[in-house]
Amino acid sequence: MISNETDPVEPIETPHGTLRTRPEVVADATFLFTLHASVKAAEFAMMPVAEPILRQLLDMQFRAMTMSYRTAFPAGRFQLITLNDAPIGRLITDSGPVRFHIVYIALLPEWRQRQISTILMTQVLEEPRRRGARCETTVALDNLASQRLWFRLGFTERERDGANLVLEWRPA
């Protein structure tokens, strides 16, 4: 469970090794950019642009996303997901008195589809469960893998717009 920004999720033993989170630090910037690029790879692969321009676009998008999240969630927890102490992903959450918001979760491609997100998010959901708080997340309509994760964890659709679903989970 996460109790504050400096306390990581309790270590979780998985078939792949020990899963942990820790607060992001400045030295993580290169990894975080690499992760962002991997998440956006398919989207950007369709753009007929030269590699240097593609890198600039990814960099601008990464900086804008990071600034946007830090502005919108000033008390948020910006964490690195590690497996056997090696970074494999990013988790951003924001906790209020009656709502727990999962802002962002991403894993490197080689760690997707291995139940790591399910294992981690099951642990993360212990905080809102303990507090009796609802939890929400927003997922792109075309992100079917993320939708499967959230529905598997018991989230339900609360609303949708032209691009996103807002999903909600309530403790039993």
Quick one: pLDDT band at residue 5, thresholds 50, 70, 90? very low
Quick one: pLDDT band at residue 46, thresholds 50, 70, 90? confident
Quick one: pLDDT band at residue 39, thresholds 50, 70, 90? very high
Report if residue 86 sits inside a domain. Answer: yes
> Which residues constitute the domain of residue 42?
12-169
Section 43-47 average pLDDT: 80
Number of structural domains (the chain) is: 1
- Check residue 42 and give its pLDDT: 80
Residue at 81: amino acid letter:
I
CATH of the domain at 94: 3.40.630.30
Report if residue 37 sits inside a domain. Answer: yes
- At which residue do the structure tokens 């905080």 appear? 127
> Where does 74-138 have alpha helices with state H?
116-124, 126-131
Section 124-129 average pLDDT: 94
Relative to beta strand 164-169, strand 134-140 is antiparallel
Q: Which residues pair with 14 in a beta bridge?
A: 17
Report if residue 163 sits inside a domain. Answer: yes
Residue at 56: amino acid letter:
Q
Quick one: pLDDT band at residue 97, thresholds 50, 70, 90? confident
For residue 47, what is the DSSP state?
S
> Where does 73-125 have alpha helices with state H?
116-124
Section 128-146 average pLDDT: 94
Report if residue 5 sits inside a domain. Answer: no
- Nearest CA among 21, 34, 6 for reference residue 119: 21
- Check residue 156 and give its pLDDT: 97
d(CA 106, CA 56) in angstroms, rounded, equals 21
Report if residue 64 sits inside a domain. Answer: yes
Quick one: pLDDT band at residue 172, thresholds 50, 70, 90? confident
